[in-house]
Amino acid sequence: MYDIYCKTGIKVSFPIIADRNGQIARKYGMISNDISNTETVRNVFIIDDKGIIRTILIYPMNIGRFIPEIIRIIQALQMADCMNSSTPANWLPNQPVIMPIPKTFEQLQERNNYIQENRNGISWYLSFKNPSKECENKTCEK
């Protein structure tokens, strides 16, 4: 952690785990026995503040991680949580999110009217809304 700080000026604010015997790596499927019995593949685990693994990315040993995509995933998770919604394929920050599906027939009718008025959806089950300013400001603050 000190080397990261010395080379980048960034203080790592989360724990780094030493796994000298590979026990943790094996439990999380980070060692591909087809390739090596000791070397890990390039894994990224995104774990939320409740300790729940939200995303797992696995890169081959000879391919580096793509940090912009990792940041985009964190932003998408934060936005989806804040807006109680989903992000569509190829979503980027400040783009619309997918609205939750209506739970009642009355909500379905309201949704159809909303779509017709705003031209922001394909059907009652696939409509979009712009992120709130509150949620835009919350992404990647943590």
Q: Is the domain of 46 the same as that of 107?
A: no
Question: Domain range spanning residue 80?
Answer: 68-138
In the chain, how many domains are there?
2
Q: Are residues 82 and 122 in the same domain?
A: yes
- Summarize the confidence of residues 102-116 as an average pLDDT: 95
pTM listed for this prediction: 0.76
Label residue 37 by pLDDT band (50, 70, 90): low
Cβ(120)–Cβ(97) below 8 Å = no
Decide which of 47, 65, 83 is a domain's last residue: 65
Residues 130 and 75 in one domain: yes
Residues 30 and 74 both lie in one domain: no
For CA atoms 125, 128, 132, 135, the dihedral sign is positive
pLDDT at 138: 73
Task: Write the CB contacts of 76 (distance below 8 Å, at least 6 apart in sequence).
Answer: 87, 91
